[in-house]
Chain A
């Protein structure tokens, strides 16, 4: 597993507490799992995504990601309507591991309140939070 310095947490993305990332692209928000999440999960074998047209509030689960031994829910970093899902993940779930910020994107959201983006972590603050967590667990 990567050390905190090895993690790729790009500056132009925002991050949620559970390690989803959110990127504002025009009037939509693209969402995926960050490098820490994919590194912790290791090889992802299955991704369950919502339907286009579904709506969720910030913090509600929108999907499920599975590795061989672990199942985790994915939570909305911002609330809104699902306007697109990355169907490539059905046959190639490993894209989340290989390219978490690019080809491994999960959903596009039409946000109900784009100001919710401001409540998210920045690249710097999420790296600090991860470091804290690692130190806690190291004890």
Chain B
């Protein structure tokens, strides 16, 4: 009998940092004191912060043990929809750690920083090419900050023409950051419903588009995994009343080398380097959310911008229309290195291949599991597909139960309960990194879980059993928050 993927093993319990250690321990080699001690006004000095006292061994054991409680992409398949948990190449990490990059001060005179400036300049151009847009800023530190930046560009563009608009169209499949970002910009989000095929219909947009709408924020491909087929017509409707089209590019992994966003009516979009471009998620960041624009929005981009004159690079602030800064310096440079290295490692053909294989993988899963799980939209998908727990509900099993059982079986669960338009949604994005064997294993496991839902539902209700902890009491955590030790 073939071995199950998920199993138990010996992991260690490990207390909190301050529950360990002893008086006088230190895990740090402090650089030599070669100057005398200078007096300091006692009124300015505070008590020593109550930090733990640990040796280097204590610290290493602590964090090694903690790491063993985590599941990462390196552990196994991580099919989180709209997160693009693809393989994070190790060579990218190596370059980010090169002393010339890691040790670089952002205020270095440009003559002493040509390497980093060239990298940024080239990366901007690569991303403009991949999206089919005219210019790029690398400043935003994450996708959400990219959305805010892009929305501000639209705001600035309209303001420069003396136009004030108060609304922004947001499809019902939108990620939560979308309405949150436009609100930060002072816009009121207006919902647009998707049709029975899970995409936006031009009529639905036309109904809500008027001269008080600054623009529409479309995710393309959308969070149901579908290409917004009517994007060109929708752009015309929005442009026709003086609005702009923002594309949330979180799902760019489906269309590299296949669609040119800049040619289908998109005015501004962001990318997520920690999704499409293989930079690691780090347990919650850092990421990077570059914003790409058409020429008309270029004057408003954040400053400084990297410019090239006769082979030399420098930073320019000579953009009077700029919205200013969104980051203390130039963005998450350490993340940019990894995306740059990825693009140079893959090359144009492999980037396109990656998108094709990502879409192949998602469709393969869709076709293989649509008998076991309800598929609300039975049509060709892009890089992700959405199931629901409808079939399992009759056995009193929910999406949550299925997800927790997947953990026991050795897979990270897909995204659950999103998008909101599907009750009990399970959004599966395998990415191109997963081989056919892994997908087949995933499919077999999901089918087995669907059977268990019928025949032995307690296995799901009680899951997970193999992880470091069982299901956690999130209610008490919210009612009586304990946020520090």
Contact = CB atoms under 8 A, between A and B. Distances in A.
A45 B475 contact: yes
B64 to A, nearest CB: 32
Interface string A50-79: 000000000000000010110000000000
Contacts of B4: none
A94 B423 CA distance: 25
Nearest to A42: B475
B32 interface: no
Contacts of B479: 45-46, 93-94
A86 to B, nearest CB: 16
A66 B478 CA distance: 10
B417 A68 contact: no
- Chain A CB count within 10 A is highest, among B417, B474, B479, for B479
A85 interface: no
Interface string B377-419: 0000000000000000000000000000000000000000100
By secondary structure, the A interface counts as loop
A137 B423 CA distance: 10
Contacts of A45: 475, 478-479
B462 to A, nearest CB: 19
Contact of B417 (A66, A69, A93, A94): A69
A117 B478 CA distance: 35
Contacts of A137: 423
A69 B479 CA distance: 13
A126 interface: no
Nearest to B479: A45
- For the complex of A and B, the 3 pairs showing the least CB-CB separation, nearest first, are A45-B478, A43-B475, A68-B474
Interface of A: 43, 45-46, 66, 68-69, 93-94, 137
12 contacts: A45-B475, A45-B478, A45-B479, A46-B478, A46-B479, A66-B478, A68-B475, A68-B478, A69-B417, A93-B479, A94-B479, A137-B423
Given A45-B475, A137-B423, 6 more contacts: A45-B478, A45-B479, A46-B478, A46-B479, A66-B478, A93-B479
